[in-house]
Amino acid sequence: MASLYKFSSLVSVKDFKEKITSTINNEDTCLERNVVDRLKISSEMDITQETLAELEDVCSPSNLKFEDEPTSDMDPTTKTTCFSQADLATLTAVSKKEGQNSDPRAKIFYSRNKNYIILSEQLRNAKTNNNDIIDGPEVVLSVALYHPVKLIKVQEFLVVGRQTLTELRDKIYCPADSIVVGEHSENPEFTTVTTAKDICPSGFIFIEGVFYNDTRNYLCRNYSKVIMEWTNEKHKGQQPRYGVCTSKKMEETKFEDLTIKLGYPYVYTHQGNCEHLLIFRDLRMLHGDDPQSVSNYPFPTFRPRPKRQRCMICSIYSARWLTRNDLLMSEDPSLFCESCFKSLHYKNNQKAYTFSAYQYSGHYYW
């Protein structure tokens, strides 16, 4: 697995797929789960069908699980409760270690010790849509997206080669896209919500000298134009210092059309200057344990644990409003839940004094 600092040599996704499919048999790339030629196995092992069934039963990985086994995305406190109920000394030890039935401060510590969720359970249990089952060999890429400032991984997806880059872009969550635009202190009951993404749908992904611009919406601007003019400018009559860059349409480019370096930091830019590192962490063939429908992809496999910002007055409910130049508050900006915001700032449904108000999402992932 490639890390943030190590990367592979250039790999053409299409060439990789062709090389693999020409090397291995069709039988080996069979996508159906549990497709096993039982007769062939029993004759090769020289055992009867009954013995084979018994062997399957005894060696099944399900024997390693206990009843109500916790899932990976389960809350850690609930998980330790499940552990303590299992009749296994090792799991009882784990539950003791993690502070179950002991110090409540330890419980809080263990429930907060992971700020991310790996969605492996969802991956295993993904429902197959029979209308768009992936027929034949297909490649899967693992794409990670990083925080624009902290440089920590905030999302990771599995995508299949036949999908376009825009299909991934539409699944990427960034709070900068969901900001509700406008000052609403005069009309806090407004119903039409316009987000930053509605106004600025532009964006590009930069991979190996090519800007893939999203041009689906008539409001999209070509962010890459200025950068390309700058990079492609000849330096003292010589060739451009950073190589000649080109641009293509994001919605017309499939992942299998790309040539990439695994582990190399590429860039996804949107909302003007919100820049995320985008890293292809893995490239492999689709196998029987993967979700089998195209509509299952891009499949999220990693996301941060949700957080919430509380109201500064009651400290109970999530913040819904942000005010600026607020005479009643000592902090600027200030955050309020719906109820505290209205009771403090309005009298008989009229604005009681001067301030400006913006809608705020108290729930966020990062």
Interface with Zn ion by CB under 5 A: which residues? 174, 176, 274, 311, 313-314, 317, 337, 340
List the structure tokens of 312. Answer: 């500064």
The residue (of 154 and 245) whose beta carbon lies closer to Zn ion is 154
Q: Minimum CB separation from Zn ion for residue 173, in Å?
A: 9
What is the per-residue DSSP string for 126-160? PPPPGGGB--S--EEEEEEEE-TTT--EEEEEEEE
List the structure tokens of 326. Answer: 């607020």
Q: Minimum CB separation from Zn ion for residue 311, in Å?
A: 3
The residue (of 93 and 219) whose beta carbon lies closer to Zn ion is 219
Q: Minimum CB separation from Zn ion for residue 245, in Å?
A: 22
Q: Minimum CB separation from Zn ion for residue 184, in Å?
A: 18
The residue (of 128 and 339) whose beta carbon lies closer to Zn ion is 339
3-state secondary structure 244-304: CCEEEEHHHCEHHHCEECCCCEEEEEECCCEEEEEEEEEEEECCCCCCCEHHHCCEEEEEE
Residues of 134-157 as b/e, b for ≥16 C-beta within 10 angstroms? Answer: beebbbbbbbbbbebeeeebbbbb
The residue (of 79 and 320) whose beta carbon lies closer to Zn ion is 320
The residue (of 110 and 317) whose beta carbon lies closer to Zn ion is 317
Q: Minimum CB separation from Zn ion for residue 231, in Å?
A: 22
The residues that bridge with 274 in the sheet, in sequence order, are 270
The residue (of 53 and 327) whose beta carbon lies closer to Zn ion is 327
- The answer to whether 182 and 267 are in contact (CB under 8 A) is no
**Which residues lie closer than 8 Å to 221 by C-beta, 6 or more apart?**
202
Q: Minimum CB separation from Zn ion for residue 314, in Å?
A: 3
